[in-house]
Structure 1
């Protein structure tokens, strides 16, 4: 009877460990705005599962799922009620965060955002101003505060992951959202410019462009879901967990050579539009 030999198994296992270690966020601290629910909550969970302590800023109380993260993953968590559209609220939130976490910050994911199903011809100045104050100004100054804190604490693993949208790549067929498209286009456009300025401090800046995702915000557009499904290659819309991996990748050393880039996670919509 011939003897069967399996060679290289221990070496392969070692390689896998080396690869997976690059995704580890052990010992790092992450901030997620809009983290009380939806994609923001999924990002917070993914970062915690990878080992990071996680802080969220939001105007609403976090869901019980966030409160369970600390015990489930043995990480430290905190919630601060912060309105990112308010400079004073943002400044106060960061000041408290810096005090409670000894000025430590390695990862920032500005995810807070709003959308409206409203036609271009009906959009008012006030509607547009409110949307931009959160989606563009709130995101921009969250990233700025985070960068200053990272520079102050001399982090060697600084990563800012801006949340853009598929709507910055294509005209959305089934939804009236010209102002939202413009706001997310601004996010995607600012990403490489900010990345260029922060590279001297060792801070990487990338963005994620999610497609149609089933969240509390998109639940208001439930009548559009079947149309959304028909636009994707795989015939379904995403769950927040489907976007989570891209965030962890961009936050971790697995993407150490990436900066100024946008990662499109849209189920193929932009390839069939």
Structure 2
């Protein structure tokens, strides 16, 4: 359920729907603001911090992850147990994304931006893809902060529902990153619609599926195509589903949203089965009720929901957006190398009651 508010770009879901689904044929003609945005390949608008990188002794990336031969019990047994110099601690570096390139759709704010920042801190060069031509002020502040770690957090304006465009975006990212690879992709763009089922406008129902299901598939496929082209085929694709894909949110009329997220769960399993043999792992994350800037605005307008949502899980509170960071980095990194086709539920236990 979390992605419904976290990825919507405004308080009005319907206006976000129109923005996502609108054709983007005029993109080539848009002029970028001096010093802040540049036109890419005559197709996209992108934004990156203009400041110089500032290396900090405090903010350091974790370094390259260890090879599989140098982790765990077997690695220790191969060494001389009596020699303390041969014993190394690898568990933290196993989560490293050093030298990796990651793409996060819906990354202009909310959970998408939270995960993008986590990937930067883990060592990756990260590209956020979202609909607005210019990123939010929140994004700009976070991207400037990432310069401290000498890593890129760049923004690309594009639509996940445009197959040609999202494929071109992935190609651009691989070339622009300097790594010549696509290693991690998070399909987090999503929208919400609330209607009684008897009165649900068919076009709005279709738009929910266009963004939340078709858009997720097009994103995953575009990333996987880049991963398949690599000499060393590999990658981790993370689809943002929702606990609402597995349960019904009591008293909320979200039939299209919930059904679209159920489809994402099944999509994740099918793609994991197809691409797993090529060493491209596909997993899903199902957030529960997560507090973000967007959900806070919604809750301010509907204060009765704070208690309702908070008491719907055993922890008795909403989740914090930062509580998505660990599971996202784990799934993106080699620390989860045998995790494929799984759904990780981050809901405080909402679904166990």
TM-score by length of 2: 0.70
Q: Does 1:133 align with 2:210?
A: yes
Query: Does the 8 Å CA contact 1:105/1:155 hold for their aligned counterparts?
Result: no
Q: In 2, distance between residues paired with 1:115 and 1:219?
A: 16
Q: Which runs of 5+ in 1 are unaligned?
A: 1-7
Q: Does 1:172 align with 2:244?
A: no
Q: Does 1:70 align with 2:142?
A: no
3-state SS, counterpart of residue 205 of structure 2: helix
Q: In 2, distance between residues paired with 1:69 and 1:112?
A: 23
Q: In 2, distance between residues paired with 1:193 and 1:141?
A: 14
Deviation at 1:78, TM superposition (A): 1.8
Runs of 4+ residues deviating >6 angstroms = none
Q: Tell me which of 252, 262, 270 is aligned to 1:193.
A: 270
Distance 1:155 1:59, change over 3 A: farther
Aligned ranges 1:216-227 → 2 under 5 Å:
216-219=293-296, 221-222=298-299, 223=302, 224-227=305-308
Query: Does the 8 Å CA contact 1:174/1:228 hold for their aligned counterparts?
Result: no
Query: Does the 8 Å CA contact 2:187/2:239 hold for their aligned counterparts?
Result: yes
The farther-off stretch of 165-174 and 65-74 is 65-74
Q: In 2, distance between residues paired with 1:159 and 1:125?
A: 34
Q: In 2, distance between residues paired with 1:127 and 1:20?
A: 45
Deviation at 1:174, TM superposition (A): 4.0
The farther-off stretch of 63-72 and 229-238 is 63-72
Q: Which runs of 5+ in 2 are unaligned?
A: 1-80
Q: In 1, distance between residues paired with 2:208 and 2:270?
A: 22
Give the paired residue count.
Answer: 262
TM-score by length of 1: 0.89
Q: In 2, distance between residues paired with 1:156 and 1:97?
A: 17
Distance 1:196 1:171, change over 3 A: same
The residue aligned with 1:3 is none
The residue aligned with 2:349 is 268
